[in-house]
Structure 1
Amino acid sequence: MCAWMPSQAGLSPGYFIEGIPKNLPMSASPGEKHKKIFLIDRTDSSSCSLPLFVIEGDEYNAVYWQKSL
């Protein structure tokens, strides 16, 4: 879901998901680097081009290749 929501917002995130996602075309994507991300704090407001990347890692026996171990 953390990779799907930015995808639906048009941000084209990079992602790596353990397993086969139902709502994304594949389990990994490099994403697009040219999207603008606005960094805002109390003193400055600026923008820069940063890639958005999501890594989903399971800490439990839920990935398909662990089921056979």
Structure 2
Amino acid sequence: MNTDTARLALTDAAGWRKSSRSAWQNGCVELNGSISGYMGVRDSKLGADSPVLVFNLAEMQAFLGRVKNG
């Protein structure tokens, strides 16, 4: 599977979840890891109409590591 195929699969996939640490009612990102090896990210305000960004797991781990380290 490649990123474009994963994006199509994640766009229609169940399993989107908003962060439990989100204090915002209408402004957060949602994540979906239901496609093996990929993580989808979308805007919770737009829900199913949101464009989906797709990262492989190494990209997502690098991003989260940098966020945690400021």
- What TM-score do the two structures reach when normalised by structure 1? 0.22
Q: Quick check: which has more Rg, 1 or 2?
A: 1
Give the structure with the higher percent strand. Answer: 1
